[in-house]
Chain A
Amino acid sequence: MVNALIRLAEVSNQESISFEPFVFWICGGLAVIGAIGMLISHKAVHSALWVALTMMNLAVLYVVQSAPFLGVTQVVVYTGAVMMLFLFVLMIVGVDASDSLVETIKGQRRIGILAGVILVSALVLLLGNSFSIQSAQLSDADSIYGGNVQGIAALLFGKYVLIFELTSALLITAALGAMILAHKERTSPRKTQANMAKELFASGNYQGPLPSPGVYARHNSVDTPALLPDGSVSEISIPGPIVARGVTKKINQSDLNEVQIISEGLGLVSSEEDDKQ
Chain B
Amino acid sequence: MNPNAYLVLSGIIFSIGALGVLLRRNAIVAFMSVELMLNAANLAFVTGARVWGKLDGQAAAFFVMVVAAAEVVIGLAIIITIFRTRNSASVDEASLLRW
Among A135-143, A218-226, A241-249, which stretch is in contact with chain B? A135-143
CB neighbors of A among B12-41 (8 A)? 12-20, 22-26, 28-29, 31-33, 35-36, 39
Chain A neighbourhood of B20, CB < 8 A: 38-39
Interchain pairs with CB closer than 8 A, number: 251
Chain A, interface size category, equals: 35 or more
Q: Which residue of A lies closest to B5 (CB)?
A: A24
Residues of B contacting A: mostly: helix
- State how many angstroms separate the Cβ of A204 from the closest Cβ of chain B: 23
User: Which of A61, A128, A160 makes the CB contact (< 8 A) with B43?
Assistant: A61
CA distance A112 to B16 in the complex (A): 11
- State how many angstroms separate the Cβ of B90 from the closest Cβ of chain A: 6
CA distance A113 to B16 in the complex (A): 10
Cβ B58 vs Cβ A85 within 8 A = no
CA distance A7 to B22 in the complex (A): 41
Cβ A178 vs Cβ B83 within 8 A = no
- State how many angstroms separate the Cβ of A93 from the closest Cβ of chain B: 5
Chain A neighbourhood of B12, CB < 8 A: 32, 35, 120, 123-124
Cβ B28 vs Cβ A99 within 8 A = no
Over the window 65-101 of chain A, the binary record of Cβ atoms lying under 8 Å from chain B Cβ atoms (1 yes, 0 no) is 1110110011001100110011001101100011110
For the complex, is B65 an interface residue (Cβ under 8 Å from A)? Answer: yes
Among A149-157, A193-201, A231-239, A255-263, which stretch is in contact with chain B? A149-157
A residues with a Cβ closer than 8 A to B are: 18, 20-21, 24, 28, 31-32, 35-36, 38-39, 44, 47-48, 51, 54-55, 58, 61-62, 65-67, 69-70, 73-74, 77-78, 81-82, 85-86, 89-90, 92-93, 97-100, 104, 108-109, 112-113, 115-116, 119-120, 123-124, 126-131, 133-138, 140-142, 148, 151-152, 155-156, 159-160, 163, 167, 170-171, 173-175, 177-178, 181-182, 184
B residues with a Cβ closer than 8 A to A are: 1-20, 22-26, 28-29, 31-33, 35-36, 39, 42-44, 46-47, 49-56, 58-59, 61-63, 65-74, 76-81, 83-84, 89-90, 92
Q: Return 28 A-B CB contacts under 8 Å, by A number.
A: A31-B13, A32-B12, A44-B89, A51-B32, A58-B13, A61-B46, A62-B42, A67-B49, A77-B69, A89-B79, A89-B80, A97-B26, A100-B25, A104-B92, A113-B23, A115-B22, A119-B18, A120-B12, A123-B12, A123-B14, A128-B7, A131-B4, A136-B52, A152-B59, A155-B56, A174-B69, A177-B73, A177-B77
